[in-house]
Amino acid sequence: DSHQTWGGRFSEGPDARVAAFTESVSFDARLAAHDIRGSIAHARMLARVGVLTDAEFDATAAGLEAIGERIRAGDFVWDPALEDVHMNIEARLTEDIGALGKKLHTGRSRNDQIATDIRLWLRDRLDALSAEVARLRAALVDLAEREADTIMPGFTHMQVAQPVTFGHHMLAWQAMLARDSERLAEVRARVNRLPLGAAALAGTTFPIDREMVAAELGFDSVIDNSLDAVSDRDFAIEFVSAAALVMTHLSRFSEELVLWMSPAFGFVDLPDRYCTGSSIMPQKKNPDVAELVRGKTARVNGHLVSLLTLMKGQPLAYNRDNQEDKEPIFDVADTVMASVALYADMMPHVTVYADTCREAARQGFATATDLADYLVRRGVAFRDAHEIVGQSVQHAIRVGCDLAELDLATLQGFSEHISADVYEVLTLEGSVAARDHIGGTAPAQVRAAAARARHTL
């Protein structure tokens, strides 16, 4: 059976299990639109340099466009016996336009073709993902402005540390995602280079014009070395790495939302439409989106290790191992896109319970550092101030009250440097307002930071 494209030197077709094991069309059919776009650019270039006539190019391009239409309409039968997306389309082209279809692969290999397809596909996904990350960042900036005055406990070691504003907390997430945007843009720049023209590995004997193909396909440059062009997948690893950081940020964020939505915290609530219930406990409303984003981070991080491991043993140039890059790349793109999009939809609808947040900050002596700073301003060395406040806190714990509830005489028993104005620094509002510098949690600074962030969107 030499119905295989490469069947000439073979005396029998592949064993059924081999065919099933080696086929990729069941997943790489997803690249069809980009494969066709690349093929049309290649054919146009072949006509420009005189390998095809203009009439041959016109018929080839029309045939490819028609196949693209049929694929879009769901009216195309993929044949696993033809291995992959490339040979399915080429075989169909030859059926449709006749022997001319057999000229399309001149000066090209599936090795540079697949590398080109993935880069074109990934570029589109990167652009879509960047837009969604920006939408999520805008939602966080809105929320930060809305809650610039809302006081909540800031935590270290999950213990109440110092009061912060809810807006300040949201802008921390925004800042992480802003770096993710930068990373995605940097990845895009390295994805957007043309491998086509490398052919199988060494280049081609035809007088190809790679610059023309690059320009037509919107690539910034051509990849210089043909062996490198067909074999490395570092661009995909960089994409998955940037995606893993996006997911890791969302996963930390998810962990907080899950905690905050627990009745034990009660800081926030999400609309019912972003939650699910329990089949047994009628009262339950679970933050499953957040939990699943946290869970799906595992598969993205896993794919990063898969791709690194896929590359590490490969000698130059192309090896079939690289076919294993597709499913991880697709799954990462789908997972990170769905996660970011859901968060971007959900965040504008978060309800923040300001009173509960404030009450949580009131517990745990969140303004103890403010009292120490107050003593320093009155000439006490910081280490001594730390000790004095520590003793005050121990006393407050013993009598079961907050620092601000200790009367002046009691406080003065710990330090003669304390006077009546101490109560200004012991309030939560005074504490956050006093952190009034770039990057601080004062409401005025949060509003200014939100404005700066909006400017970068």
The site for ligand ARG (CB under 6 A) is made up of: 24, 28, 84, 110-111, 114, 320, 322-323, 326
**Residue for token pair 């009292």:** 371
Q: How many angstroms separate the CA atoms of 283 and 147, rounded?
A: 29
Nearer to ligand ARG, 114 or 385 (CB): 114
**Residue 443 contacts by C-beta under 8 Å, 6 or more apart in sequence?**
148, 149, 165, 167, 432, 433
Q: How far is the CB of 102 from ligand ARG (least distance, A)?
A: 18
Integer angstrom CA distances of residue 353 from 112, 269, 446: 56, 8, 19
Choose between 110 and 119: whose C-beta lies nearer to ligand ARG: 110
User: What would the DSSP string read from start to end of 57-119?
Assistant: HHHHHHHHHHHHHHHHTT-----GGG-SHHHHHHHHHHHHHGGGGGGTTTT--HHHHHHHHHH
Does 157 qualify as catalytic in the annotation? Answer: yes
Nearer to ligand ARG by C-beta: 110 or 169?
110
Q: Measured from the CB of residue 86, what is the shortest distance to ligand ARG in angstroms?
A: 7
Decide: helix, strand or coil at residue 144.
Answer: helix
> What angle (nearest 5°) sits at the alpha carbon of residue 194, between those of residues 192 and 199?
155
Three-state secondary structure call for residue 352: strand
Give the residue with the Cβ less far from ligand ARG, 28 or 132. 28
Which is closer to ligand ARG, CB of 84 or CB of 147?
A: 84
Apex 32 CA angle, 30 and 38, nearest 5: 135
- Under DSSP, the state recorded for 412 is H
Task: State the number of CA atoms in the 13 A half-sphere of 223 facing the CB.
Answer: 28
Environment class of residue 172 by beta-carbon count within 10 Å: exposed (0-12), middle (13-18) or buried (19+)?
middle
Q: Is 130 within 8 Å of 215 (Cβ atoms)?
A: no
Q: How many residues does the chain have?
A: 457
Which residue, among 361, 397, 294, 357, has the nearest Cα to 159 in the 3D structure? Answer: 361
Q: Which residue has the tokens 């879509």?
A: 128
List of residues 6+ apart from 56 with CB closer than 8 A:
47, 100, 103
Which residue among 11, 157, 437, 455 is the active-site one?
157
Question: Residue 286 or residue 319: which is nearer to ligand ARG going by CB?
Answer: 319
Could you tell me the smallest distance in angstroms from the CB atom of residue 326 to ligand ARG?
6
CB of 116 to ligand ARG, least distance (A): 11
Place of tokens 């009450």: 359
| Joined tokens for residue 325 | 């890059």
Nearer to ligand ARG (CB atom), residue 42 or residue 326: 326
Catalytic residue (choose from 26, 262, 278, 419): 278
> At closest approach, how far in Å is the CB of 6 from ligand ARG?
8
- Angle between helix 382-399 and helix 368-377 axes, rounded to 10 deg: 140
* Shortest CB 232 distance to ligand ARG, Å: 13
Which residue's CB atom is positioned nearest to ligand ARG? 323
Q: Write out the two tokens for 145.
A: 């402005």
Nearer to ligand ARG, 177 or 196 (CB): 196
State the nearest-atom distance from the C-beta of 321 to ligand ARG, in Å: 8
Least CB distance to ligand ARG at residue 203 (A): 16
Report the catalytic residues. Answer: 157, 278
